A and B are shown apart, each in its own frame.
Chain A
């Protein structure tokens, strides 16, 4: 187990987080008693071999899944007791997601895709689209706002996904291998956008990646080595 560096304000605080899948002999323990702390405004990279539990950790932090054991506090709130609807509202208002796949919904324009979290939150269409346009400008895609996903390159789609993750003004950004499907140039472009918006919007970010070079540009690296070795982590 390892802890993040001591800091005055914790955005994420997980203690003894455990998660496994399957039953009986087939049960696979992915996380076993992991402690994690992410400071407010910190950009944390989570690295480690496949199957070690990086995405599982991200899903727990994003309230997409519940831990089998352990407690999780986000911005001082114990989120373990939230209902399904409460967790959905939390995700909508306080968390931004960037996934490796499922970047954008195919039936909607880039602008509509980016506006989607605000629309889900109940914002009026006009307000949501205005915010989407602003974010698209920030990621350099304003001219492409009326395009559909299949008319965009992989890098553009992922930058659009970054814009969508941030449109509702979340405090926590979670990215699951956001550059995993991209070539080096596009990966650099997407990471640069992430880094810039992280700073300009005062976000707390957790980025799962296999890309050691990009991880090295984050504030800190959390290196998972697996439940078998006690979720041993190291920090940089």
Chain B
């Protein structure tokens, strides 16, 4: 004698699931549950891939165009003097190091007057405005802009704001999430406008954007007392947190599709248990033990759910990959930072979807399996 009931369970599950040759109604019910689970899994995979794609792109853009770490004074607004900054430059040739002083400024052009942040950058040779300021001023490369600071200069007409008329040399792309108008000027011009600009912050950027998250830790030990480093993660904490929250919430919302599919599975299993009541009772009369009946319905439910989940995951994953590779969903340039809707299938997302499928199928199968196992054999035999 082999292991009790294993062969018969395999036979029953196979016949009920596949509906081989006869009784296609049972197979149709199984197919509906299977399809619902597969669709739910596919929807979840595609959604998570879409979110991962967008978020990955945003992070990438952030790393490519943004600052990877900032050095600033722990106390006060100016960094301590000394040659530590030069030494940092020498030791980390792979880092772009920009010393910055900042102040408030009015930018005036034919398009109007716009308040902006004046950033004095030691590595600049010309005047640079970011795209936010360019849009508000209606000024592009070559446009003449007057910069006026609150610092007064004495004229025959009395104290007047200090002004400099400059030409815009470059319009810098806005970083993701940047909404602040900013004009960046070379050291000499900045010193004139602000009156001897002391270095307030130092921006660090690695040549390799993939190192964005590690720049802060790389330089941490080489900083003098009184200087602190703000990491890429801290600099972008609100945006990164929002992205993570978005992923969780949308993933949770789409996971409700799986919940609906699981409820469908539960209903269909309950229907199957009711339809097969007499047959299950007959099997019980022939000696099938209650725990085997429970296993039968658990295997049926988990089989449908897991199979649906796996097939749905494969379909969803392939769909996401094809959509990404073929760039099937283009986006208007200038509005978005990417040219097409990006999809990125991750192992973590696959694991989550498979886990959710299996868990949902198990939960959906428990009640019908338990009810079927507890059903009285005699009542079932009397049932017509």
Contact = CB atoms under 8 A, between A and B. Distances in A.
Contacts of B381: 64, 99, 101-102
B333 interface: no
B1 A121 contact: yes
A119 B289 contact: no
B221 to A, nearest CB: 68
A65 B379 CA distance: 10
Contacts of B285: 62, 64, 91, 97, 99
B2 A89 contact: no
Interface in B115-131: none
Interface string A29-40: 000000000000
Interface in A92-140: 92-93, 97, 99, 101-102, 105-108, 112, 116-117, 119-125, 128
Indicate the member of A64, A106, A120, A150 with the most B CB atoms within 10 Å. Answer: A120
Contacts of B279: 102, 105-106
A148 interface: yes
A92 B23 contact: no
Contacts of A117: 286-287
Contact of A92 (B22, B278, B286): B286
B228 to A, nearest CB: 70
A106 B11 contact: no
B373 to A, nearest CB: 10
B278 A102 contact: yes
A120 B283 contact: yes
A17 to B, nearest CB: 16
A124 B8 contact: no
B289 A122 contact: no
B290 interface: yes
A57 B26 CA distance: 35
A112 B284 CA distance: 16
A88 interface: yes
A7 interface: no
B7 A124 contact: yes
A122 B6 contact: yes
A213 interface: no
Contacts of A108: 11, 15
A101 B281 CA distance: 12
Contact of A116 (B281, B283, B377): B283
Indicate the member of B6, B285, B287 with the most A CB atoms within 10 Å. Answer: B287
A144 interface: no
A64 B290 contact: no
B61 interface: no
A122 B287 contact: no
Indicate the member of A64, A101, A102, A116 with the most B CB atoms within 10 Å. Answer: A102
B96 to A, nearest CB: 72
A145 interface: no
Contacts of B289: 84-85, 88-89
B146 interface: no
Contact of B287 (A88, A101, A105, A107): A88
Contacts of B1: 121-123
Contact of A120 (B5, B15, B20, B384): B5
B54 interface: no
Interface string B1-23: 11111111001000110011111
Nearest to B289: A88
B286 A64 contact: no
Interface string B268-310: 0000000000110111111111111000000000000000000
B7 A122 contact: yes
A107 B281 contact: no
B378 interface: yes
A59 to B, nearest CB: 6
B23 A106 contact: yes
Interface in A129-178: 148, 150, 164
Contacts of B286: 91-92, 97, 116-117, 120, 164
Given A64-B381, A117-B286, A85 B291 contact: yes
Contacts of B4: 120-122
A107 B26 contact: yes
Interface in B2-52: 2-8, 11, 15-16, 19-23, 26
Contacts of A116: 8, 283, 286
B282 A99 contact: yes
A85 B289 CA distance: 6
Nearest to B282: A102
Contacts of A112: 11
B377 A64 contact: yes
Given A64-B377, A84-B290, A107 B8 contact: no
B378 A107 contact: no
A124 to B, nearest CB: 5
Contact of A119 (B7, B23, B378): B7
Contacts of B284: 88
B8 A120 contact: yes
Indicate the member of A89, A107, A121 with the most B CB atoms within 10 Å. Answer: A107
Q: Which 5 A-B pairs have the closest CB atoms?
A: A92-B287, A119-B8, A122-B4, A122-B1, A88-B289
19 contacts: A64-B381, A88-B290, A91-B285, A91-B286, A92-B287, A101-B278, A102-B281, A107-B15, A107-B23, A108-B15, A119-B5, A120-B286, A120-B288, A122-B1, A122-B4, A122-B5, A123-B1, A124-B7, A128-B7
Given A101-B278, A122-B6, 11 more contacts: A64-B378, A85-B291, A88-B290, A92-B288, A93-B287, A101-B381, A102-B281, A105-B283, A106-B23, A108-B15, A148-B22
Interface of B: 1-8, 11, 15-16, 19-23, 26, 278-279, 281-292, 377-378, 381, 384
